[in-house]
Amino acid sequence: MAESPHRAAGRRLQLPLLCLLLQGATAILFAVFVRYNHETDAALWHWGNHSNADNEFYFRYPSFQDVHVMVFVGFGFLMAFLQRYGFSSLGFTFLLAAFALQWSTLIQGFLHARHGGHICVGVESMINADFCAGAVLISFGAVLGKAGPAQLLLLALLETVLFGVNEFVLLSLLGVKDAGGSMTIHTFGAYFGLVLSRVLYRPQLEKSKHRQGSVYHSDLFAMIGTIFLWVFWPSFNSAPTTLGDGQHRTVLHTYYSLTASTLGTFALSALVGEHGRLDMVHIQNAVLAGGVVVGTAGEMMLTPFGALAAGFLAGSVSTLGYKFFTPILEAKFKVQDTCGVHNLHGMPGVLGALLGVLVAGLATHEAYGEGLDSVFPLIAAGQRTASSQAMHQLFGLLVTLMFASVGGGLGGILLRLPFLDSPPDSQCYEDQVYWEVPGELEDEAQGPLRVEEPVTQA
Amino acid sequence: MAESPHRAAGRRLQLPLLCLLLQGATAILFAVFVRYNHETDAALWHWGNHSNADNEFYFRYPSFQDVHVMVFVGFGFLMAFLQRYGFSSLGFTFLLAAFALQWSTLIQGFLHARHGGHICVGVESMINADFCAGAVLISFGAVLGKAGPAQLLLLALLETVLFGVNEFVLLSLLGVKDAGGSMTIHTFGAYFGLVLSRVLYRPQLEKSKHRQGSVYHSDLFAMIGTIFLWVFWPSFNSAPTTLGDGQHRTVLHTYYSLTASTLGTFALSALVGEHGRLDMVHIQNAVLAGGVVVGTAGEMMLTPFGALAAGFLAGSVSTLGYKFFTPILEAKFKVQDTCGVHNLHGMPGVLGALLGVLVAGLATHEAYGEGLDSVFPLIAAGQRTASSQAMHQLFGLLVTLMFASVGGGLGGILLRLPFLDSPPDSQCYEDQVYWEVPGELEDEAQGPLRVEEPVTQA
Amino acid sequence: MAESPHRAAGRRLQLPLLCLLLQGATAILFAVFVRYNHETDAALWHWGNHSNADNEFYFRYPSFQDVHVMVFVGFGFLMAFLQRYGFSSLGFTFLLAAFALQWSTLIQGFLHARHGGHICVGVESMINADFCAGAVLISFGAVLGKAGPAQLLLLALLETVLFGVNEFVLLSLLGVKDAGGSMTIHTFGAYFGLVLSRVLYRPQLEKSKHRQGSVYHSDLFAMIGTIFLWVFWPSFNSAPTTLGDGQHRTVLHTYYSLTASTLGTFALSALVGEHGRLDMVHIQNAVLAGGVVVGTAGEMMLTPFGALAAGFLAGSVSTLGYKFFTPILEAKFKVQDTCGVHNLHGMPGVLGALLGVLVAGLATHEAYGEGLDSVFPLIAAGQRTASSQAMHQLFGLLVTLMFASVGGGLGGILLRLPFLDSPPDSQCYEDQVYWEVPGELEDEAQGPLRVEEPVTQA
């Protein structure tokens, strides 16, 4: 490709140096701060007279593995819908999430460190790190195809910090409940990404328009992501809840909510489609809104009917968002939201937060019995009324939107640093900028790439 | 596409209205009837002095998740082998299964409701609902490419009811054992679909013949389905069995049976293939027959050798069925079985039922010890001899075949209602009828679609 | 295809006869020797007063299922990167692994049989059988595209025996620790395959060079394998370790090690790539080296920092291996390593063994407390010092290299038996030799196949 030697050399070094630097830094911090917790340490675990069956591992590992699949398989393939950006979607998902797992172990650990200044790790910290990676990947979805890997790593560096702080404020300071992360993961990740995308607005993006869509097989690859996300979402929402009825109930709600968002998505997609045809973009994404919308209320006594109603609403709103709101977002608000994260994570996340406000506000001792203590410990302890919990939940949403917006803005400024490698407008959504692509595609692609390049470099 | 405006308008509305109607109806029924069971309800669970580890969730959730993957990833991708029908295979699988999960929660719940007329839900009811969705998808496989989504939803509506009734008759009235559903799921789903396909027989289907095969990449996508089904089948058969040795033994049998059906499939496929070449259709499907065939006997004392022998037989019969029987089924019996469900679910399901007859008839107190009570409670209680149990098992198979045939016939009459949208003979196996398809394929497809359309519309 | 009738007839019969023969033999051996263990037998399990929760099944089945996914989905799709060899990669993986599961149940069972000469099976023996299948598939990777299915079955027959013997020598005779199989699986499988590939060296292999690379979509299919391997590797290393802290700690190490090998791989791949571009081959493979390298030390007190450092080293070495060492391996050592198993399993396996030597040598009573007995029973019992354990670990590596080399050599001699069907040099990496391939590809492929064939047959 006709690229200036200076630029190529810069690109050549930015990514590897940043990887090495970040890995070196986290390794040193791990050496100094990170220790086994009492369930992963051989001496500590065997010191008490535990039964092996009591190890938290057996209660949470199956859910953790499902979450892990969602982060890497789910997000990765869901974003592989673009015709020429599959390598980047899968590869950068890998890179960003791998770094976020390490870095958020440190950030979340510092904020919660209790044990002599040490960060103690085990299956719960692994779940929390994966959740942070999920938020980073949601934001990635908003700028997919328009940012280089070095930029994205810096983004993950910043977002992980803000994610940790926001989560700490909500869960630890405000006593907000948000097990499945309607607020802390989906709303945060989405609005972070949307503000970021606004700051990185590219008026000339139509130069890459011919690569912005899918082809038949890329849509099938994306469905791998969709289906694994859909199937494992009950594990996502239930992974960090209280054991026993808490996990069980959360799974149940998420399961039914997803079935309803699926029916809502098919109904609305066919209703608004040309000639009544279904749109793959809706099916790939909006069916998942049912998982997002019960992220907060899933562990509460939402009732199975409540799960259906919430899921149906979320799926419908999400589908309508793809059809009607995404174009407005770009035209009026200058937000180019590649994956439609506003429709899948933004609006359903906010709806989920509001659902949490509602269900928390309706909490009674009758409905929860002795279980109130696990779901709403502050209400059970008499420190809060249900209405007060609801107000705190609402305030948590506002705090999240604030952190996300400020974070996305800062992220945008960071990523616009002029020396950072970013794909030109004519080569967005294009793997060849960052990857050796096998011959077949290179030939196929020669036309447009060769033709447009001079324009870009001019 | 050159389509009459009337027809297009009808199609536009049938699917969304049906989705909305069905979702509305199930939501109301959920509100009235569906409640948490004692393991998902906060108050009920905390009322007793349970240890969290006792929650059924921890014994069944990992298996449930595997089953969930099988239903959505497994069936979905397995049916994505057609070159132009990947969107529909994956999408309609989603739609049908999501609806079936809700609807069968209600149907199965009504039939088993004990608690003051309420349906109490938890991980076991979720597993049972997924099983019903599996049966619906098996029937879908027989008419794949030849029915529209509104037709398919009506089919699911009907089949779920009959599935529930048949299952109730077998398990509750007849005291038949069928944990992995050789009868209730595979035999029922297959013969329901085959009779349905017979009623919907299309003499002019060769107009769509050029789309009925696979292409190289669609065969690889189908293998995603095959492999996940194969790997997780031990969880399918063991998900609802008794805990402890019951689940453990069922897993073991399914694991070995599948290895033997794999070897049998490769042997027979190469033996009957032209030039000794293997056929992807056999590998994609017949390797799974080993899971079907131990669906009934898997929890019994089949012995590891018995699992190998049964699996090998099922894989071989299934492969020979694809090669020799499927063409006869179409030519002589006018059954156009798109996915060959007769070979994968029909014959192996019947074989599995007969294997259950045999192994039940051989049950002794020596072989099962105190475990006889979990596997054959009626024999253990002295209410039945082993031979009597065997006769009941055999009768269960006949009942299943009867329900399936009547159901498939009714389904066919239902789907032939003239106002229902159905693809014309020349556009079967074609995504573009129901989906916005990205440009690439549309161009490629213009030829045949444009040419044939007038014939269809005439 | 223009093939001599004799040859075609031979091919037609070799595979099916071998399948039938092997399946018949294992079935007979199963009938004679294989029995339920006390956790899968109805009478034995109910004889004691067990709680169902105590059944080993609930501690190991979720990990087992992840391992099962890795073997069939992971290895299968990872090897599907070749443009024309997807059917064979997935299909032969199926065939080889299915046979290896049966055969290694017998071999490992004979070596460990204690119960009156019977082989008692349950979830642990299933995990061990899957591990053996993993080793066979690693060796398969070294000769991928260059051996026929009958040859490969014979290979599995031989390798399973040697795998069992080597594992027995290490774990039972030498008291070596190697839960995740850095030595017994990865080092053994890799060097077995490399020596085999050396013996089967094809000087004329460049005749198939145009099929040796990937195409865009085949690289995406391969990523399905990569990501599932990456995500489930913590289960692989922890599946057979001691319960409680042992499994938990192993998961933790593998999780972090993989994140570091991912960062190392991206750094090095960009650093050595032309124009700083990333290479899909590195990402597909070297990111996994972090799982291999903690296969031995993962259950020891490696520390989280140790896991990061080891993973980073392994990912970097593996990437450099693909770039610089694989060409040398072919040019100087005449080893044509199709999948680069030397880089993914060979070098990281040896590094993992050496890491095990180091961490075992550093073991103290302080660090392990009462847990020393589960990790290093011989040290805890005072029969060995930590240094002595380290020496035994090192000796175990040498034994493994010896068994692997001799086995690979024997395997090569076996596979060169002249009557065995093997693809000609011009038709390596080509599905059509063994599979009915759908029309599309056949047309596309006609050119090269037709042209080269006469040369081959001459």
Within 8 A of C41 by CB-CB distance, chain B residues are 245, 249, 301, 371
- The answer as to whether A23 is a domain residue is no
H or E stretch at B457: helix B439-457
Sort out which chain B residues have CB atoms less than 8 A from A251's CB and list them.
57, 61, 123, 126
DSSP tag of A435: E
From chain C, the residues in CB contact with A76 under 8 A are 223, 227
Per-residue pLDDT at B9: 66
C51–A contact, CB cutoff 8 A: no
As a whole number, mean pLDDT of residues C174-194 equals 97
The average pLDDT across A115-139 equals 94
CA distances from C47 to B247, C39, C44, C50, C201 (A): 17, 11, 5, 8, 57
Chain B residues close to A213, C-beta within 8 Å: 438-439
Position B457 scores a pLDDT of: 33
- Nearest Cα residue to A408 out of A192, A126, A93: A192
Q: Say which residues have a Cβ less than 8 Å from residue B24's Cβ, sequence separation at least 6.
A: none
- Does residue C247 sit at the A interface (CB-CB below 8 Å)? yes
Residue B10 within any structural domain of the chain: no
Nearest to A411 by CA among A202, A110, A194: A194
Determine which of A310-319, B80-89, C109-118 has the lowest per-residue pLDDT on average.
C109-118
Domain that holds residue C246: 62-202+209-416
Confidence class for position A4, pLDDT limits 50, 70, 90? low
> Number of folded domains in chain C?
1
Residue in A235, A247, A283 closest to B91 by CB: A283
How would residue C209 be classed by pLDDT, with cut points 50, 70 and 90?
confident
- Is beta strand B119-121 parallel, antiparallel or unpaired with respect to A278-279? unpaired
**What is residue A436's predicted lDDT score, i.e. its pLDDT?**
92
Neighbouring-strand partners of residue A436:
C279
Residues of chain C neighbouring B366 (CB-CB closer than 8 A): 43
User: Is pLDDT at A113 greater than 80 in this prediction?
Assistant: no
Residue B3, pLDDT score: 52
Inspect the interface and report whether the beta carbons of A220 and B90 lie closer than 8 Å.
yes
Total length of chain C: 458
Residues within 8 A of B (CB atoms), C 30-49 only: 30-31, 34-36, 39-47
A446 pLDDT higher than 50: no
- Which helix (H) or strand (E) covers residue A279, if one does? strand A278-279
C46-67 residue pLDDT tens: 987 778 889 999 999 999 999 9
Does any CB of chain B come closer than 8 Å to the CB of residue A379? no
β B119-121/A34-36 pair status: unpaired
Residue A121's pLDDT band (boundaries 50, 70, 90)?
Answer: very high
Radius of gyration of chain A (CA): 22
User: In this predicted structure, which of A449-453, C23-27, C375-379 has the lowest mean pLDDT?
Assistant: A449-453
Of A214, A270, A367, Cβ closest to residue B15: A270
Residue B366 contacts C, CB cutoff 8 Å: yes
A272: domain CATH number is: 1.10.3430.10
Instruction: Using the predicted structure, report yes or no on whether residue B8 has a pLDDT greater than 70.
Output: no
The helix (run of H) or strand (run of E) holding residue B14 is helix B5-33
Question: Each residue of C128-174: pLDDT tens digit?
Answer: 999 999 999 999 999 999 999 999 999 999 999 999 999 999 999 99
Maximum separation of any 2 CA atoms in chain C, in Å? 72
Q: How far is CA A396 from the centre of its chain?
A: 18
At C453 the pLDDT is 36
CA-based nearest residue to A166, from A144, A181, A155:
A181
Task: Share the mean pLDDT of chain A.
Answer: 92
Indicate if the pLDDT at residue B368 is higher than 90: yes
* ipTM field: 0.94
Helix H segments across A176-244? 188-199, 216-238
- How high is the pLDDT of residue C458? 28
Spatial separation of the C-alpha atoms in residues C161 and C407, rounded to whole Å: 9
* Digit-coded pLDDT (tens) for A329-383: 999 999 999 999 999 999 999 999 999 999 999 999 999 999 999 999 999 999 9
Comparing CB atoms, the residue among B62, B256, B375 nearest residue C42 is B375
User: How many angstroms separate the CA atoms of C84 and A54, rounded?
Assistant: 50
Q: Tokens for C249, please give them.
A: 């700690």
Min distance C47 CA to chain B CA atoms (Å)? 7
Task: Tell me the backbone φ, ψ of residue A446, rounded to 5 degrees.
Answer: -50, -45
CB contact under 8 A, C61 and B59: no
What is the distance between the alpha carbons of residues C302 and C295, in angstroms, rounded to a whole number?
A: 11
Structure-block tokens of residue B383:
């209410």
What element of type H or E holds C161? helix C149-167
Residue-wise pLDDT for A210-258, tens only, equals: 898 899 999 999 999 999 999 999 999 999 999 999 999 999 999 999 9
Confidence label for A447 from pLDDT (cuts 50, 70 and 90): very low
Q: Which of residues 194-213 of B touch C (CB under 8 A)?
A: 213
Residue B355 lies in a domain: yes
Q: Is the pLDDT of residue A452 over 50?
A: no
SS3 at position C278: strand
Distance CA B184, CA B190 (A): 10
pLDDT at C406: 97
Residue C186: HSE in the Cβ half-sphere, 13 Å Cα cutoff: 32
Mean pLDDT throughout B146-151?
95
Query: Longest Cα pair distance anywhere in chain B, in angstroms?
Result: 72
Q: What is the pLDDT of residue C102?
A: 98
Which residue, among A65, A308, A359, would best test binding to B if mutated, counting the most B CBs under 10 Å from its CB? A308
* pLDDT band at C6; cut points 50, 70, 90: low
Residue B373 lies in a domain: yes
A28 Cβ contact partners less than 8 Å away, ≥ 6 residues apart: none
Average pLDDT over residues B22-40: 96
Rounded-to-integer distance, Cα C338 and Cα C212, Å: 8
Query: A4-18, A299-313, C63-77, C228-242: which has the minimum mean pLDDT?
Result: A4-18
Encode pLDDT of A167-197 as tens digits: 999 999 999 999 999 999 999 999 999 999 9
Is C425 part of a structural domain of the chain?
no
Structure tokens at C148: 């026929």
> Cβ contact (<8 Å) for B267 and C15?
yes
pLDDT at residue B4, rounded to an integer? 58
- C109 at the B interface (CB within 8 A)? no
Q: Looking at the complex, report in whole angstroms how far the Cα of residue B449 sits from the nearest Cα belonging to chain A.
A: 16
pLDDT band at C79 (very low <50, low <70, confident <90, very high): very high
Mean pLDDT calculated for residue range B131-149: 96
